[in-house]
Amino acid sequence: MAVGVLALQGSFNEHMAALRRIGVKGVEVRRPEQLESIDSLIIPGGESTTMAKLANYHNLFPALREFVNSGKPVWGTCAGLIFLADKAVGVKAGGQELVGGLNCTVHRNYFGSQLQSFETELSVPKLAEKEGGPDVCRAVFIRAPAILEVGADVEVLADYPVSSDNLPSMATRGEDKEDNIGPLDKVIVAVRQGNLLGTAFHPELTADTRWHSLFLRMGEEIGERRLQCITTNSDD
Ligand code: GLN
């Protein structure tokens, strides 16, 4: 299974290193045609506006959308999660181009600026269920986004309580009226929807490789299901 890592900007080296730690050699992806030869894709964290500009420069958006729609596994971390969201708020004037596919609304800078970056322990029962180990994981939030709303087809893997400390300031809101967030008691920070995985934090910056293993397992499960479909159809 060839695992691609979008290598335009941001923490792609760290994802490559995390994959190496579990014995997988990732493939750095910079051009649309490279998407044809990989089985799954990680979109790293970084800065989503810059990443979108670079993706546009390399004409990657159509191929990225096609990849997402093909049903192959895609994992977006932080800026990568913003890329995958169907809708983003708190974006700069002029908008933010998205790949889309993940049925959710994301706030691009929910947790604030670099100075408000933090580390915490998150409860993720699904991670322990699938990969073993404790049902908490260390999570690094850097200028992090948060998911405000998800569609019915989205499984919430982890959420985070809203407090006066992490309510987005005016400075991190965009100019859109829709950016005015209603009362929420928690925000969502990890989700899965079919072939798509999204985390608002950076698992590649911790020693815990269970998120990378979980993502690879998603690929195996999806591959097996496809195979079953082909076999069942050919039995007809
Ligand atoms: N909030 C950042 C953005 O808009 C993402 C931060 C990150 O990926 N660490 O792109």
Task: Please tell me the distance from the alpha carbon of residue 33 to that of residue 58, in angstroms, as a whole number.
Answer: 11
Contacts of 165 (CB under 8 A, 6+ apart): none
ipTM of the complex: 0.96
- Give the pTM: 0.93
More confident residue, 164 or 161: 161
Please say if the pLDDT value at position 175 is more than 70.
Answer: no
CATH number at 44 reads 3.40.50.880
Residue 95 banded pLDDT, cuts 50, 70, 90: confident
CA of 172 to the centre of ligand 1 (A): 12
CA of 89 to the centre of ligand 1 (A): 13
State how far the alpha carbon of 57 is from the alpha carbons of 50, 91, 152, 171, in Å: 11, 20, 34, 28
For ligand 1, whether the C-beta of 124 sits within 6 Å is no
Give 111-163 pLDDT, tens digit per residue.
988 888 999 999 999 999 999 999 999 999 999 999 999 999 999 999 999 88
Interior/surface letters 42-56, b for 16+ CB within 10 angstroms, e for the rest:
bbbbbebbebbebbe
Average pLDDT over residues 97-122: 93
- CA angle, 87 as apex, 111 and 10 as ends, to 5°? 55
Question: Between helices 210-235 and 12-21, what is the axis angle to 10°?
Answer: 80
Average pLDDT over residues 198-218: 97
Nearest to 22 by CA among 233, 231, 204: 204
For ligand 1, whether the C-beta of 82 sits within 6 Å is yes
Residue 178 banded pLDDT, cuts 50, 70, 90: low
For ligand 1, whether the C-beta of 46 sits within 6 Å is yes
Percent of the chain scoring above 70 in pLDDT: 92
Of ligand 1's atoms, which has the minimum distance to the CA of residue 109? 1
Q: CA Rg, the chain, in Å? A: 17
Please say if the pLDDT value at position 176 is more than 70.
Answer: no
If one residue of 109, 111, 189 were mutated to test the ligand 1 pocket, choosing by the most ligand atoms within 8 A of its CB, it would be: 109
Residue 186 banded pLDDT, cuts 50, 70, 90: very high
Give 4-62 pLDDT, tens digit per residue.
999 999 999 999 999 999 999 999 999 999 999 999 999 999 999 999 999 999 999 99
Average pLDDT, the chain: 92
If one counts the domains in the chain, the total is 1
Strand partners, 199: 77, 190
Task: Please tell me the distance from the alpha carbon of residue 126 to that of residue 74, in angstroms, as a whole number.
Answer: 18
Domain coverage including residue 19: 3-235
